[in-house]
Amino acid sequence: MDSVVLLFIALLVYGAGTATNLQARYAGTDLAPPRRRATAVSLAMVSTTLGAVAGPNLVTPMGAFATALGIPALAGPFLLASVAYTFAGLVLYFWLRPDPLLLANAISAQDRAETAPAGDSPSTPAPPGNNRGVAVGTTVMVLTQIAMVAIMTMTPVHMQSHGHGLTEVGVVIGIHIGFMYLPSLITGVLVDRLGRVPIAVAAGVTLLAAGIVAATAPAQSMGQLMIALALLGLGWNFGLISGTALIVDATPLETRAKIQGSIDVLIALAGATGGALSGVVVAGTSYAVLSLAGGVLSLLLIPVVVWSQRTTPRN
């Protein structure tokens, strides 16, 4: 309908679906034992891989379908998204029962009642969370989100300005999103076995490598851009899973959902800021400068997690 206002409304609805989808990684930990929390996160994340990889590569055929209906080609993927989100909502509504968070709360309340000394109230409040762990986990996810979104947002623009078509853009972004989610099963196991901190550090190093590879990629080099965006997705994956595990470890069950939602708002705002500023940076300098800046920014993860290990957490 050639209406920017309606486009923004559509993006708001689309973003709400994306936010809900990301919250699924927390839902995966509600009933998971502490030693397998990161693995539970990874199971929820890897489940999105098929659609995440297929989606960008369906831009061209869905564009042709949209054109046949008499609407702009780039509106085609929105048709697919509307159908996919509808089915996803129906699956969650009918099959995600009992709700894992409510069940986890009921189990926790029962355990406290059974272990409470005689005469104590069964409703004894849970111990407060570890604020330092929340701060570190949030910082890890926010920085990885800014670096990833900034570089990813400008990559299609950079490619199209140098003669690459939508199909080539779809392939590169498909590879990127695949590496955002596909390694999750391995990442979750590594986080549980090696610890949250080593994988968070690996996220910063990987994102720096992504920025360097993207910055040095010749404009016509599909191969190097694919490697750069693959590393970008992998670094984001490391940061999100290790950061999520840090958050879950540091929050009591009773307040976990509220804290998780607040943190995801910060992550979304960070991503929006990174996306908005990325265009300004590229317009004022270049795609290479943006890529290097994103990589260097991600290195801030390392002193943050090192600081968290050298000081004693306070509740």
In the chain, alpha helices (H): 4-27, 37-46, 49-57, 59-68, 76-95, 100-115, 131-161, 166-181, 184-194, 196-216, 222-250, 253-284, 287-298, 301-310
Determine the pLDDT at residue 120.
54
How high is the mean pLDDT of the chain?
86
Write the pLDDT tens digit of every residue in 97-144.
888 888 888 888 887 777 766 555 555 555 566 788 899 999 999 999
**182-200 tens-digit pLDDT:** 898 899 999 999 999 999 9
Q: Which two tokens stand for residue 224?
A: 């190097």
- pTM (2 d.p.): 0.79
Summarize the confidence of residues 35-61 as an average pLDDT. Answer: 81
Specify the CATH architecture of the domain 4-310: Up-down Bundle (1.20)
- Angle, helices 301-310 vs 131-161, to 10°: value is 170
